[in-house]
Amino acid sequence: MNLIDAAKEVRENAYAPYSKFKVGAALRSTEGREHRGCNVENVAYPEGTCAEAGAIAAMIAAGDTRIAEIAVIADSLSPVPPCGGCRQKIAEFADPDVQVTLATTGGATRVMKVADLLPGAFAAEHMES
């Protein structure tokens, strides 16, 4: 299954009773395995979890550590980019040239690279003294 279809499928499991804005994410690790996540809201905003963060957590829980590609889908007029926090999370586990596909349930897509999502990303080398 391609990542957009996988993200679309997992999106249906999203728990979004407050915003009604369901998001799905699917990634392929460098080990070749697929990992999925969907947004999970909480009445105590902002305590929910984004779809991208869920997919990354699933990847780590499965023992994989690097993203080879990722897709995110939502029911929107135009492809929705990850929030700032998720951009940083993606950058933590993906090389700058990794492909990020943003999609709508209506079929629109936009393909970017991680470096385009988060130029000037804060990285581990910034922690070195």
Binding region for Zn(2+): 50, 83, 86
Look at the block and give the residue holding tokens 């080879």: 68
Look at the block and give the residue holding tokens 């385009």: 116
Q: Which residues are part of a known binding site?
A: 39-45, 50, 83, 86
Q: Write the DSSP string, 62-87.
A: TT---EEEEEEEESSSSPPPPPHHHH
Q: Which residues are part of a known binding site for substrate?
A: 39-45
CA 119 vs CA 20, 34, 75, 86: distances in Å: 30, 26, 26, 14
Q: Is 52 a catalytic residue?
A: yes
Query: E strands of the chain, at which residues?
Result: 23-29, 34-38, 67-74, 94-104, 109-113
Residue tagged active-site, from 9, 34, 52, 92: 52
Listed residue (93, 44, 91, 45) closest to 67, CA to CA: 93
- By annotation, the residues acting in catalysis are 52
